[in-house]
């Protein structure tokens, strides 16, 4: 029997699954074979969460959430179902193509998906130049901080692995230098640290507004996807074989 473990980096990225969950907590839905853990941002946290889910009975892993576009053609909210993930050493880690095809086949034609390679990034890609350089070096079309680490955990455990991500940060977006300090490891805004920079950098407000709008578009896509993949509220119509 397949028992799917879903790993989400940020608390907001779990909302499309229809759950109110705390961080560092494994949620198990009664009567269904799905588990969820909000890991926090970054490879180390994702790796720990993946290993925790496997230790508690998961025998397949899914990396769920948002991603950074490295290709100017990717729009906010575009769905990514990559066939491979590259780690920071550019080692290729394949997803389960059987699962990837099954998930893709469950989605109606209106979902424009991209299945090209994603790359691991260990730092925030704050400028278009940062994203362009990573694209030029690796050929990947998008990046995140967790999927490669989870792919490695799945490979070592010999269990299926798949990625479902939506574009939240497009190629042209610029993250102000101060923005890295306004959220914690789970993507939650620190009240004081988040408010003061906004007051002292009013010129950055338009870009922050656009970043927030793009993030909402990514979450909207993930919310729509849950209904077709059978993950809404962690009540799946059936785990992939």
Tens of pLDDT along 37-96?
899 999 999 999 999 999 988 999 999 999 999 999 999 999 999 999 999 999 999 999
CATH code for position 94: 3.40.50.1580
- pLDDT digits over 91-111, tens only? 999 999 988 888 888 888 878
Across the chain, the runs of DSSP E, i.e. the strands, are 4-8, 26-28, 34-38, 60-69, 79-80, 84-86, 92-94, 113-114, 118-120, 142-144, 161-169
| End-to-end alpha carbon distance in the chain | 8
Q: Which of 93-107, 150-164, 193-207, 223-237 has the lowest mean pLDDT?
A: 223-237
Domain range for 121: 4-234
- For the chain, the domain total comes to 1
Residue 241 resides in a domain: no
Token digits for 143?
């990046």
Residue 198 resides in a domain: yes
pLDDT band at 236 (very low <50, low <70, confident <90, very high): very low
Contact 166, 79 (CB under 8 A): yes
> How many helices (H) and strands (E) would you count in the chain?
7, 11
Report phi then psi at 26, rounded to 5.
-90, 125
What distance in Å separates the CA atoms of residue 185 and residue 2, rounded to the nearest whole number?
30
- pLDDT digits over 6-18, tens only? 999 998 998 898 7
Residue 39 resides in a domain: yes
Please name which of 180, 2, 150 lies closest in space to residue 65, comparing C-alpha atoms: 150
- pLDDT digits over 21-33, tens only? 555 555 554 444 7
Rounded to two decimals, the pTM is: 0.87
Give the number of other CB atoms < 10 A from CB of residue 157.
17
Alpha helices by DSSP H, 56-145: 97-106, 128-138
What distance in Å separates the CA atoms of residue 38 and residue 6, rounded to the nearest whole number?
8
Name the residue with tokens 């130049």: 129
What distance in Å separates the CA atoms of residue 53 and residue 104, rounded to the nearest whole number?
24
Residue 240 resides in a domain: no
| Overall average pLDDT of the 187-196 stretch | 66
Residue 93 resides in a domain: yes
Residue 178 resides in a domain: yes
């Amino acid at each position: 029997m397949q028992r799917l473990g879903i790993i989400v980096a940020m608390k907001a990225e779990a909302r499309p699954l229809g759950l109110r969950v705390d961080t560092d907590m494994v949620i198990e839905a009664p009567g269904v074979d799905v588990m969820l853990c909000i890991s926090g941002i970054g490879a180390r946290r994702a790796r720990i969460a993946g290993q925790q889910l496997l230790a508690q009975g998961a025998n397949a892993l899914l990396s769920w959430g948002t991603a950074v576009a490295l290709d100017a053609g990717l729009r906010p909210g575009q769905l990514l179902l990559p066939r491979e993930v590259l780690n920071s050493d550019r080692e290729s880690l394949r997803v389960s193509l059987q699962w990837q095809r099954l998930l893709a086949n469950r989605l109606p034609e209106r979902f424009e998906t991209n299945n090209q390679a994603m790359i691991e990034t260990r730092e925030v890609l704050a400028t278009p130049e940062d994203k362009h350089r990573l694209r030029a070096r690796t050929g990947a079309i998008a990046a995140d901080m967790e999927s490669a680490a989870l792919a490695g955990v799945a490979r070592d455990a010999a269990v299926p692995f798949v990625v479902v991500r939506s574009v939240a940060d497009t190629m042209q977006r610029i993250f102000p230098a101060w923005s890295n300090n306004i959220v914690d490891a789970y993507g939650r805004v620190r009240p004081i640290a988040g408010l003061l920079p906004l007051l002292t950098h009013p010129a950055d407000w338009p870009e922050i507004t656009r970043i927030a709008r793009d993030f909402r578009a990514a979450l909207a896509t993930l919310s729509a996807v849950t209904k077709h993949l059978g993950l809404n509220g962690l009540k799946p119509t059936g785990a992939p074989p």
